[in-house]
Amino acid sequence: MIIKAKKSLGQNFLIDKNILRKIIDFAKIDNNSEVLEIGPGSGNLTDFINQKKPKKIHVIEKDENLVQILKNKFKKNINIINEDILNYTGSSIGSDKLIIIGNLPYNISSQVLVKFIINKNNFKFKKLIFMFQKELADRILAKVNSSNYGRFSILANWKFDIKKVIDVNPNSFLPRPKVMSSLLIFIPKENIIKFKDVKNLEHITNIFFNQRRKKIKKPINFLFKSKLGILKKYNLDLNLRPQNLKPETYYSIVKEYENL
Ligand code: SAH
């Protein structure tokens, strides 16, 4: 069947069976798992998920036309939710067996990831397996002192252990995207640093990385005014740049900021 892809919805369908199989193998889905797929499209990946016979499959797809196609293809086997993932709040499907998987629409992939980091509704899940543009994946994986290091690595590492599974060539998709993609797996950490409000982590990293080439003197003064005890406590040199502070240092700064 020929489906006309909508660019506005980031539709690049995965057509490479080897890659589809690899994604499913790395996801380690078994007949005890529950799966939520984000953006199933015409169901290429869903087919492979279905073959592993998990307990339940839920999919969230925004495009009504594709929802019709999915309904015909899968009949009653799966729970098809016609919604925008960014608005989705239904925590009724959350569970500690839930594997969330998605070849994400690239125009919203960072927002989807941040949604599961902030996790406002306390949605339960076991792991995330997401396909990103390689450029964003590199930023998520970046280590301190590297040029790609910034907000995404700090936010994502707060909550998850992250690994790259594979890089995926544009030829594996239809239509072909312009850039390489990477598949990442995110396992929630057992002990995460607790904040009064996770939004403060977003807020603080925004303030530091809005001017990523400038010294940290400005954001520190802006946030802490005259209360600069943190400089000594964390051994901070105001001549450093935002990319020189470890994720853990940012988490400490957030805690100090929350206690001002
Ligand atoms: N998983 C499929 C399709 C990936 S393309 C495959 O690999 O072949 C991305 C899919 O996400 C498209 O089907 C698109 O319609 C859907 N999508 C785009 N924006 C969305 C949103 N906000 N919420 C849910 N689905 C969305």
Ligand 1, atom 11, residue with closest C-alpha? 39
Model confidence pLDDT, tens digit, residues 48-90: 999 999 999 999 999 999 999 999 999 878 999 999 999 998 7
Report domain 7-188's class: alpha beta
Q: Tell me how far the alpha carbon of residue 132 lies from the centroid of ligand 1, in angstroms.
A: 12
Question: Quick check: CB of 85 below 6 Å from ligand 1?
Answer: yes
Task: Specify the pLDDT at position 169.
Answer: 97
Question: Quick check: CB of 40 below 6 Å from ligand 1?
Answer: yes
Ligand 1 atom, smallest distance to 39 CA:
11
Which residues lie closer than 8 Å to 37 by C-beta, 6 or more apart? 45, 46, 49, 57, 58, 59, 60, 100, 101, 102
Question: Quick check: CB of 45 below 6 Å from ligand 1?
Answer: yes
Mean pLDDT across the chain: 95
Amino acid occupying residue 155: L
Mean pLDDT score, 114-137: 95
Asked whether the beta carbons of 36 and 128 are under 8 A apart, the reply is no
Partners of residue 168 on adjacent β-strands: 181
Q: Tell me how far the alpha carbon of residue 61 lies from the centroid of ligand 1, in angstroms.
A: 6
Q: What pTM was computed for the model?
A: 0.95
Task: Specify the pLDDT at position 257.
Answer: 96
Mean pLDDT score, 121-134: 95
Asked whether the beta carbons of 207 and 219 are under 8 A apart, the reply is yes
Q: Which CATH superfamily is domain 199-258 in?
A: rRNA adenine dimethylase, C-terminal domain (1.10.8.100)
Quick one: pLDDT band at residue 97, thresholds 50, 70, 90?
very high
Question: Quick check: CB of 14 below 6 Å from ligand 1?
Answer: yes
Task: Specify the pLDDT at position 227.
Answer: 84
Question: Quick check: CB of 43 below 6 Å from ligand 1?
Answer: no
Q: Tell me how far the alpha carbon of residue 39 lies from the centroid of ligand 1, in angstroms.
A: 3
Ligand 1, atom 3, residue with closest C-alpha? 41
Amino acid occupying residue 9: L
Question: Quick check: CB of 177 below 6 Å from ligand 1?
Answer: no
Question: Quick check: CB of 11 below 6 Å from ligand 1?
Answer: yes
What HEC string does the chain produce? Answer: CCCCCCHHHCCCEECCHHHHHHHHHHHCCCCCCEEEEECCCCCHHHHHHHHCCCCEEEEECCCHHHHHHHHHHHCCCCEEECCCHHHCCCHHHCCCCEEEEEECCCCCHHHHHHHHHHCCCCCCCCEEEEEEEHHHHHHHHCCCCCCCCCHHHHHHHHHEEEEEEEEECHHHEECCCCCCEEEEEEEECCCCCCCCCCHHHHHHHHHHHCCCCCCCHHHHHHHHCCCCHHHHHCCCCCCCCHHHCCHHHHHHHHHHHHCC
Which residues lie closer than 8 Å to 201 by C-beta, 6 or more apart? 154, 155, 158, 195, 250, 251, 254
Mean pLDDT score, 173-180: 96
Question: Quick check: CB of 9 below 6 Å from ligand 1?
Answer: yes
> In angstroms, rounded to a whole number, what is the distance separating the alpha carbons of residues 147 and 140?
12
- Domain segments of the chain as ranges: 7-188, 199-258
Question: Quick check: CB of 61 below 6 Å from ligand 1?
Answer: yes
Model confidence pLDDT, tens digit, residues 9-58: 999 999 999 999 999 999 999 999 999 999 999 999 999 999 999 999 99
Quick one: pLDDT band at residue 181, thresholds 50, 70, 90?
very high
Task: Specify the pLDDT at position 2.
Answer: 66
Q: Tell me how far the alpha carbon of residue 9 lies from the centroid of ligand 1, in angstroms.
A: 7
Which residues lie closer than 8 Å to 82 by C-beta, 6 or more apart? 61, 62, 64, 67
Higher pLDDT, 114 or 92: 114
Model confidence pLDDT, tens digit, residues 199-221: 999 999 999 999 889 999 999 99
| Whether pLDDT at 1 is above 70 | no
